[in-house]
Every structure is written in structure tokens, then in C-alpha cells.
Chains A and B, each alone.
Chain A
Amino acid sequence: MNTKVSIAYLAGLALLVAAPTVIYPVLVMKVLCFALFACAFNLLLGYTGLLSFGHAIFLGTSAYVAGYVIKVLEFGPLAGIAVGTVAAGALGWVIGSLAIRRQGIYFAMITLALAQLMYFIYVQAPFTGGEDGLQGIARGSMFGIDLTNDLALYYVVVGFFAAAFWLIQRTIHSPFGQTLKAIRENEQRTISLGYDVDRYKLLAFVLSAAIAGLAGALKALLFGFATLGDIHWHTSGEVVLMTLLGGMGTVFGPVVGATVIVTLQTELSDKVGSLVSVIMGCIFVFCVLVFRRGIVGEGVALYKRMIGEKVH
């Protein structure tokens, strides 16, 4: 990470540690889960140029698996989170290997269709509880800390978030991440430079799926349930919107986007009912037409213009 990003990262972490004194921790945890989800998604869309339109399936798979491990197999929350994350990564490997057989717009359609396939399987599978979902996932305790206390869970979630966020940054700035960016900019040229592009794409996909899974497992632990809503394509659309609104290909964009969208949804859901999706749709249209850099991207561009740097 460069200095500016490191400073911002530490400042953000300090804010998160202090946040529960002023904000209801459950809301912040919800935001963090979706922010992590969006960061994982951004690793693919923003840094590799792959639009996965079925990413909710990784969030939801991990939520179900973690819930199952904790509730039915009665292992602790740590095992649930670990197994859920691995399961999401494994599913990411399967879906990723199929989807990277086609490029561009087809990639998006294939990921969407495969996620829908899994959705239908989960609706019928006995372990997901079908329409009712998997209810009553106990938080239990981790490292001897009782997680039924919201504040205790909060610091655990912040810990996981900070670690995963750091991992994503580390990936982006590694030689591996540079290759991903090369693929985004010009896939043909990257191939001709001798890179096995498919392997890089697949690895990025698996990593992104696993981190999305981590977010899903944390979410299941937070609310105590996993439902079909987690794996529905609306949720996949939401993570696209969060990333787009915050600024795709920026470090903090997905976090900002997730904060705005989750807050909006929490505020609006009781007041406007089905119009929520109209509002989300309008934000989508607005972002695509005139706000493609997103909040963070526009902010950075503004800053660069102010200090006299050229913005392309």
C-alpha cells in the first residue's frame, strides 16, 4: 500500500474502533459485511475487468454452510466462518472455471445463470430450509469471548474486516495484482506476453468468492439466519451498485458505496416499500450515465484537479 492509502486505512480503522460509542453497532456490522462483499466484488470488476453478475451466491452459500456447521453440526462460530469461506471459494472455483470459458458480456450472463442454477438447487435442498431459510444460528463464543454481546461481536467483525481488506490491498499491489490489471487493460497483449490469463482470472475469481463468503458467514453470525434473499440475484445487483456508486477500481470506493446503499435501504425500506427498487434503479442509471467514476473516483479526480495534476 502507498502512504496515502495506509494513512487512510489506519484512520478508517481508528474510526471503526470508536464508532460504537455513537452509532448502533449492529448497523455498522451490517455495513461492514456488505462493504467486505463489495470489496471482494471490486477485486474482480475493478481490478480484473470481470463482471460477475452472480456474486450473491458466494455470500449466501457461505452463510448457509456456516449456519449449518454452527447450528446442526454444533461446531463453534470460528469453524463455521472457516468452513463457510472455504465452501464459497470451492464454489467459486467451479463457477469460475466454467465462466472464464467466455469473455466480456457472456461472462456476466454465465455467472448470473450459474448463480440462478444454484439458487434453484438451494430452494429444493433440505439443508437450507427452503422458503423459511436457516433460522436460529447461535453466535456462541470465540476465543473465550461471548459473542451474544453486540459490542464483542462488533470487534470480531472489525478484526475480520480489517484483515480481509488488508489482504485485498496486498493482492492488488502484488505482482499477481499487476497482472490482473494488465488483463483488465488488454487481455490479448497479456496473453502474448506469456501469461496464462485463465489461471490468473480463475485465481482472482476464487479469492473474490472466498472473501465474499467470509462476508456472508459474518452476516449469518450477526443476524442469526441465512435466507434465500442472500442468494437472490437482487443481492448480486446490489453489490454491483455499491461498487459502481462508490467507485470501481478504487480502494475505498466499495466501502463508501456499501455504506450509502445499506443506510439508504435501512432508512427507506419501511417508508416507501417497493419503491426502494425504483430508487436503486435510478441510482444505477444515474451512475452509468454521468457518474461512472463513483463517489471516491470523483473525489480523487477533484483533488487531482485542485493540485494541478492531469485527469484523464
Chain B
Amino acid sequence: MADFLGVPLPALLGQLMLGLVNGSFYALLSLGLAVIFGMLHIINFTHGALYMMGAMLAWMASAYLGLGYWWSLVFVPIVVGAFAVVIERSLLQWIYKLDHLYGLLLTFGLALIIGGVFRHFFGVGGQPYSIPPELTGAINLGFMYLPKYRAWVIAVSVVVCLATWYMIEKTRLGSYLRAATENPALTQAFGINVPIMVMLTFGFGAALAGLAGVLAAPTTQVSPLMSSDMIITVFAVVVIGGMGSILGSVLTGLGLGLVEGLTKVFYAEASSTVVFVVMVIVLLVRPAGLFGKEK
């Protein structure tokens, strides 16, 4: 069997695949954070809670309503997005004029509330959520077995990220969005309803987090604790990539997933810290972030 630096090649590739799966979640979450930040100038601390909510809703839909994975994949992001729209209209819209730090504090409080409510009703135990039958099993690529579900997660998130990029950079709606980010007052003067755009942006970013949650549900134990550290890792991803560029945050997310996978193979003890170590290095070498612009 082929080896690479003393590690069997299939094992290495398997870990890299797992890393890419994690990277897909980082990419979806940091993309949502970046889109929201661009428009609202709020760092959304609830993002991890929304991700957890996505997974929990998928599990609840299956446990209480008997709705399968495919239903959840479509409807859970919509529900999470709608929930976020309600939050935006009822709470966030009052603080846009304040210092940006208040946005972080408010969403931090909301994350505590959402997490606490789910822990109260569902405990902290993990719930199993099975892979849909269409995606179980693996494909033999000759040099490795590729589990179908992992390939699916990576494919979906890459497609969704690219579609988001296309929508923002190449469509009319996206041009309104960019205009509203650049100069809300002027955009409003041209007859575009900026508050609605802001509301939809927040809902869309949240829906991405919900989608990541549904995708993650079959890969892990679904529990209210699954998000507790995720959001901080994603913050580090965002600091590394810089929030200025959409493709940048996607690439950073996937790349860091790969780095994490590699670390698991060669020095497993550091796998939980490697993203933060990369952040330290980036701060030392290129403080504005890999894709950020120097001010």
C-alpha cells in the first residue's frame, strides 16, 4: 500500500476528505457572516446557534413529523431564515446607528437565549440522525473509498457558495445589494428599499447557517452543544480570510478544513488549535487578513 510520510495513503485521503467536509461548514458559515457583516455591519454571534438550530430542526422534523432529510434540506433553511428575519425586524433594526460592538453584544445575548432554550427542552445528549438511503455507502475510486455523503456535503456547499457569489457579483439584485452596502442613503434615494434588502440579507445569511446545520446533522451527534465552539472557530476563519471578499472567505474556509484534516493525521493533539495558530501567523505576517485590504 502506498505511503506518504509514513501515513497510509487511504488514511491520509480519508482525513483530507473529512477536513474538506469540516471546511465546507466553515465556508458556509463564514460566507454567511461576511454577507451579513457587509450589509449590516454586525458580527452575528448567533450564527453558531442558528447552525445548531438547523441540525436540531432537521432532527425534530424527522423525529416528530416523520419528514426525511430531503424535506429538511429545503425547508429548514427557510424556517431558520424566517426566524432570523423576525429577529432582525424586532431587535436588530434598532441598533444599526450605534457602535458596531453593540451588534456583537446583542447577538451574543441572543445566542445565549437560543442555546439555553434548546438545552432546556432537549438536554445535552446527542441524537443520531441517519444519512439518507440515497447517499449511504461509498464509491470505490481505486485508490480510496469515497463515502457518498461526504462528497455530497462538499459538492452542495461549493455549489451554494458559488451561487451566492454569482448572485451578489453578477445579478441585478446583487448590484442593488452592493450599492446598498457602499452607500445606503444614496441607494435609498434611487428608490431601492434598503431596509428590505437588509432584512433579506440577514435572513439569507442565517439560512446558510441553517443549511450548514442540516448538512452537518448526519455527520455528527445532533445536540444543543454542537455549536458552542463552532462560532469561535468560524470567527478565527473570518479573521484569517478577511470579510471583504466572498470567494476569499469560501477558499479560506475550505483551506482551513484541509489544514485541520492534515493536522489530525500528523499531530492529532494540535488539531483543535491549528486554526487559531494559523490566525496568529496571519496576524503577524498580514494583519489585514489573506483577502482583506490594507486600510
**Residue ranges of A at the interface with B (Cβ–Cβ < 8 Å):** 51, 53, 98, 101-102, 104-106, 108-110, 112-114, 116-117, 120-121, 124, 233, 237, 240, 244, 273-278, 280-285, 287-289, 292
Contact = CB atoms under 8 A, between A and B. Distances in A.
Contacts of B98: 292
B112 A277 contact: yes
B232 interface: yes
B273 A105 contact: no
A277 B115 contact: yes
Interface stretch (B2-10, B148-156, B234-242): B234-242
A298 B183 CA distance: 35
Given A109-B239, A277-B116, A285 B283 contact: no
Nearest to B279: A113
Interface residues of B, number: 42
Nearest to A286: B109
A284 B112 CA distance: 9
B134 interface: no
B283 A278 contact: no
Interface residue SS majority, chain A: helix
B119 interface: yes
A116 B279 CA distance: 12
B291 to A, nearest CB: 14
B125 to A, nearest CB: 13
A113 B119 contact: no
Given A51-B101, A105-B100, A113 B236 contact: yes
A105 B104 contact: yes
Contacts of B284: 98, 101
Interface string B3-28: 00000000000000000000000000
Interface of B: 37, 43, 91, 94-95, 98, 100-102, 104-106, 108-117, 119-120, 229, 232-233, 235-236, 238-239, 269, 272-273, 276-277, 279-280, 283-284, 287-288
23 contacts: A101-B284, A101-B287, A102-B283, A104-B101, A108-B101, A109-B235, A109-B239, A110-B239, A113-B239, A114-B279, A116-B229, A117-B273, A124-B269, A240-B108, A278-B112, A278-B113, A278-B116, A284-B109, A284-B110, A284-B112, A285-B109, A288-B106, A289-B106
Contacts of B100: 104-105
Given A106-B239, A240-B105, A275 B91 contact: no
A156 B107 CA distance: 39
B112 A237 contact: yes
Most B CB contacts (10 A, CB to CB) among A109, A112, A287, A292 go to A109
Contacts of A53: 104
A287 B112 CA distance: 14
B53 to A, nearest CB: 14
A98 B235 CA distance: 15
B120 A285 contact: no
A37 to B, nearest CB: 18
Contact of A113 (B95, B112, B276, B287): B276
Contacts of B283: 98, 101-102, 110
Given A102-B283, A120-B272, A273 B120 contact: yes
A280 B276 CA distance: 28
Contact of A278 (B37, B117, B279): B117
A116 B120 contact: no
Contact of B109 (A116, A117, A276, A282): A282
Given A109-B43, A276-B116, A281-B109, A121 B273 contact: yes
A233 B276 CA distance: 15
Contacts of A120: 272-273, 276
